[in-house]
Each structure stands twice: as structure tokens, then as C-alpha cells.
Amino acid sequence: LIYHEKTNSVFMFGGWHTHGGDVAPEVWQFSLDSKQWAHVANNRAILYVDPYGNRSIVPANSPVLDTESDKIIFFNRNRRTWAFDPVTLKWEKMDPDLLPPGRCGQEMAYDSESDRVLMFGGYGCRSFSDPMFNDLLAYDYNTDTWEEILTDTVPEERLYMEMVYDSVSDLSYMWGGRHIKDKFEDTTMWAFDYKQSAWHPIPSKGGPDLPYSYSEMIYHPVNQEFFLYGGGPLYALMTGYNRDESWIYTAEDSSWTMIDVVNVPAKISNHSMVYIPGSDEIILFGGEIGDVMYEDKLLIGTWIMDYATKTWREVLFAYAGNEGLWCPDQLEEVLVGGA
């Protein structure tokens, strides 16, 4: 999910209907005024055409909004860089000279002070024997260039972690993740300083006992804190357990605090969340629910959390075609409208 201030909406890209299945090829836009979804485009960032003209769908994880250029930036498994314009709804295929290794499971964050998209980690995404990455790359849309950043201290390889940018400290924070096969136990919060080209490991005070993967962490600019919800630890290749815990991480003193929330949606992983500054709310969509990961039990509906009261509520409708609504089940009849 990507929040776009100019259109006062949230954009949703891709996702799976079943874990590890085909990537959904749509782009959806959620209006924060009408609280309605609309299918607005196809997702070209997941389309790959080989030299023989054969088409296939490939993952393109963790896009971010480059606010200086007002473009949403993608990088996919087949080394393609794409930019999406949320106003015109048009795609732009970029052509940088340096092509990072193709991957999925990476994380990206936008450093607004330096006007760079940062990408870390992931794996080759073709099989479980593919290499994992702990490289860090920076993308500049204005010059259409990727730059690999080499540092003395480097976090361990990982995938499906969380990475967010703190505009106050001008640091990008990265936490959690998993290995492909081995148990992963790094609960360190890592902060990257683009100007100094340096990673800083920050031992945490409290917090989850094991790192989470398939979680979601957002930055709250007013409180200068991170909100983490969902995901959970993995104990083997395809063995993980969802948690419905909600945590606040305060960068100022490197401390974690577990908090109580009202009407929490579910034990969940693989969901997506985005913070809306104007209303001080968090939008959540999608995800796999239940105690155990990888069971393809999907969360239904769009959820909104009031950040001040930490109260979740569901938007009680579902899309049923142009000009159509599916009414909530507590009504006595279902109405489907259309032109």
C-alpha cells in the first residue's frame, strides 16, 4: 500500500491470492474521501517479456513513493526498474546502466533528505536454493541510476523484513526478517545513514523475543516512533506462527513497548499497512490469518486504525464491479447495483 497525498488516496499493487501463487496483476486505488476502491490500472511492474517474446509474471516487492519526483518506484525479479505516476496512472519503464541482481523479498525505503530510494536484502526468488542478499543499493529517479553502497559493517542476509525512513533523524531503520532455511535470531534494529554511507547496529531494549517476518512497520512522524503489527517468527523453512501483538519502537531511547489495541483484526502476516498523516490513521488490507502461517486463510475487508486511540474498525463493504457495493452481512438483504 502506498499513500499519495495529492490524490488523497491509497494505491495497492500486486499481492497473492494464495501464498506463492500467481501475482495479482491489478492496481487499485482507495479513495480516502469516499472510502471506496477502484481498479485503475494493470501492474506492468510484474510483467516480464523474455528475448523470445514469451510473457511471464514475476514478483515486484515493496515499492516506495519518491516524493520529489512524485513517482512510485518498483524493482522486480527480472532486474527491471519501473516508475508509476499516481496522477496520470501511467507506467514508465526505466533503463539504468547498473542492474542490481533480480530478487524478491527485499525491502525499500525512500530517503527524502537525499532523494534516494534505498533497497536492501531479498533473495533470487526462483527456488529455495537461490542466494540471499545483504547488499544495499540506492536509486536516483532523476538520473535513472542505481548505486551499490559498500559499508564496513553489514547486516546479515535476510528477506521479508521491515524498513522505514525516519525524516527527523534522517536515518532508514531496518528490523526483523528471516532466512530461507536456517533459523534467524537477529533482533537488532539497524539504522542506515546515507550521508555517511554507514550501517549502525542498535541493540534493542525489550521487544519481540525473536525477529518477525511478513510483518508491517510504519513510521509515525508526529510521535517519532514506529508501529509494528502482525507477522511472527519462523522456526523452519515453511513453519511459522502468526502473532497479533502490536509494538511501539522509540528511536530516541531504542526501546520497545507492547501496547493494547482495540478490535485487533486477527493474528496475521503478509498484510500491508500505510499511515495517513492528515487523519492520523493506519489503513490495512490483505494478509494471511490464523495461528499458523502458509494456510491461505485471507483477511477480508479494509481495516482502519485510529492511531490516537489505537482502535481498529472495518470498512463494511466490498467491491462488486463498477458502481456496485456488497452490503455487510448484518443487513437483511444484499443489494448489487450497476449502470
3-state helix, strand, coil in the chain (%, to 5): 0, 45, 55
> Cell 481498529, residue?
312
CA distance 16 to 240: 18
Task: Give Dmax over CA atoms of the chain in angstroms.
Answer: 64
Q: Reply yes or no on whether the pLDDT at 155 is more than 60.
A: yes
- Residue pLDDT, tens place only, 199-220: 999 988 899 999 999 999 999 9
* C-beta separation of 118 from 106 below 8 A: no
The C-alpha R_g of the chain, in whole angstroms, comes to: 19
Condensed to tens digits (0 to 9), the pLDDT of residues 101-149 reads 999 999 999 999 999 999 999 999 888 889 999 999 999 999 999 999 9
pLDDT digits (tens, 9 = 90+) for 166-205: 999 999 999 999 998 888 999 999 999 999 999 999 988 8
pLDDT of residue 339: 38
Looking at residue 49, what is its pLDDT? 79
